[in-house]
Homo-oligomer: A and B are copies of this chain.
Amino acid sequence: MGDLNVSKRAQSVPASPIRKLIPYSDEAENRGIHVYHLNIGQPDLATPTIYFDRIRSFKGVDAYTNSAGLMELREKFSEYYKRWGIPFEKEDVIITEGGSEAALFAIAAVADPGDEIIVVEPFYANYRAFATFLNVKLVPVTSRAENGYAMPPISDFEKVLTSKTRAILFPNPGNPTGTVYTSETLNEIVDFAFNHNLYIISDEVYREITFDGLKAHSIMDFGKQENLIVIDSLSKRFNVCGARIGALATKNRSVLKSVLKMAMMRLSPNRLSQYGALGLFELNDSYYRTMVNEYQKRRDVVYDELSKVPGIVLSKPQGAFYFAARIPVDDSEKFVKWMLTDFSVDGKTTMVAPLSGFYVTPKLGKDEIRIAYVLKEKELREACQILKMGIGAYKSERKKAKV
């Protein structure tokens, strides 16, 4: 029995590296500083009105839905996937409480405590929280700023493979990197997974946000469907982060059956959000085009401004709405805090996310940051200029401190 401690699991679950610095920005804002928030993936774009219209027209009792979600919504997902050439039937799709729950259920479905999942770092930070929550070990292969965070070679995966490896997990397009993997790369990974009886958990929540005419391939484009699990979410593509509507889709019957049992345990996804989501699937191509054009313009602004920073390592990402970059500071978490506590330009400062929480390997990411371009062009340009000035000022201040 011993003491009234919390579990080791609870102690080990990491706080969100993105959310844990919020108290510093709150404090800056309380001092009257205007903080440009490039730290969090919450887009500023409007939520489509059709979403609210559908919710407003709901009549009846706000009752549970089927644990797997409304069949009409599963059908909409299926139609949507087929437009992308992805052969998911409605029965292959389970509606989840955001992409978060889809990731949690996918990890739980394939891995027991002590099992290993290979992740391509830097990766979406909450993967680590889900794995820790489930006592699953994340084993990293590392992508590098110097080559645009491209997928590491298969030999790197072979090196970390053990008898406990159960799956490979990565986002594509990438968060925090914005990297879109090539079809050659994905094909190799799928073959590797197939040859070693591994699952691939492919996080495709940024599927349509790609630039310069590039298309993001779904992992489902590469055969071996029994091995593949897709995580999805409406949050980013429709600016409905608060709706908590995502999906897990797979052709693997055993995984589907397992995930359905997990869905039953929490009874039902949100009913009204599901009705709203039905409307979102009716938006046409022009909606997506407008959104993607807007993000592409913003990406170009950020690249334009930040590529001027002396010592920065930065590639132009092809998707999502993030930049990851190596910057000439000793500790990016300290730097992010310092920007909030000690630096401002005309009463304004910029907040970004330090990248160490996006790595499993200790010490990696300490000189990297993530920039979410979730502000309109004019503010974004100013935010980047402030960031650039901040990096310069921080460097000279540290130099002075060392003298």
A225 to chain B, nearest CB (A): 11
- In Å, the complex CA distance between A226 and B6 comes to 11
Contact (A97, B261) CB under 8 Å given A1-B198, A7-B108, A198-B1? no
A44 to chain B, nearest CB (A): 7
- CB < 8 Å: which of B97, B134, B264, B271 contacts A129? B264
**Contacts of A115 on B, CB cut-off 8 Å?**
7
Please state the number of chain copies in the assembly. 2
* Contact status B133-A262, CB under 8 Å: yes
A198 to chain B, nearest CB (A): 7
* Contact status A261-B15, CB under 8 Å: yes
* Contact status B270-A270, CB under 8 Å: yes
A341 to chain B, nearest CB (A): 22
A378 on interface, CB distance cutoff 8 Å: no
- CB < 8 Å: which of B6, B60, B243 contacts A270? B243
A126 on interface, CB distance cutoff 8 Å: yes
* Contact status A16-B240, CB under 8 Å: no
* Contact status A10-B109, CB under 8 Å: yes
* Contact status A42-B63, CB under 8 Å: yes
* Contact status A265-B9, CB under 8 Å: no
A35 to chain B, nearest CB (A): 16
- CB < 8 Å: which of B11, B62, B100, B239 contacts A47? B62
**Contacts of A4 on B, CB cut-off 8 Å?**
197-199, 226-227, 252
Q: Which of A48-56, A78-86, A87-95, A145-153 contacts B (4 or more CB under 8 A)?
A: A48-56
**Contacts of A239 on B, CB cut-off 8 Å?**
61-63
A278 to chain B, nearest CB (A): 14
- In Å, the complex CA distance between A4 and B111 comes to 11
* Contact status A165-B9, CB under 8 Å: no
**Contacts of A240 on B, CB cut-off 8 Å?**
62
**Contacts of A199 on B, CB cut-off 8 Å?**
4
Interface residues on A, range: 35 or more
A231 to chain B, nearest CB (A): 13
A65 on interface, CB distance cutoff 8 Å: yes
A45-78 contact mask (Cβ, 8 Å, vs B): 1 or 0: 1110001100110101111110100000000000
- CB < 8 Å: which of B11, B46, B269 contacts A244? B269
* Contact status A265-B111, CB under 8 Å: no
* Contact status B264-A241, CB under 8 Å: no
- In Å, the complex CA distance between A44 and B60 comes to 10
**Contacts of A47 on B, CB cut-off 8 Å?**
60-62
A238-274 contact mask (Cβ, 8 Å, vs B): 1 or 0: 0111111000000010110011111011111111110
A399 on interface, CB distance cutoff 8 Å: no
**Contacts of A1 on B, CB cut-off 8 Å?**
161, 163, 165, 196-198
A159 on interface, CB distance cutoff 8 Å: no
* Contact status B126-A265, CB under 8 Å: yes
Give residues 95-111 of A contacting B (CB, 8 Å).
97-98, 100-101, 104, 108-111
* Contact status B113-A113, CB under 8 Å: yes
* Contact status B52-A58, CB under 8 Å: yes
- In Å, the complex CA distance between A227 and B5 comes to 10
- In Å, the complex CA distance between A196 and B1 comes to 7
Q: A1-B196, A55-B56, A62-B241 are in contact. List 5 more A-B contacts (CB 8 A).
A: A10-B259, A62-B239, A63-B241, A64-B241, A244-B244
Nearest 7 Cβ contacts at the A-B interface? A242-B271, A10-B258, A129-B265, A16-B264, A100-B266, A62-B242, A47-B62
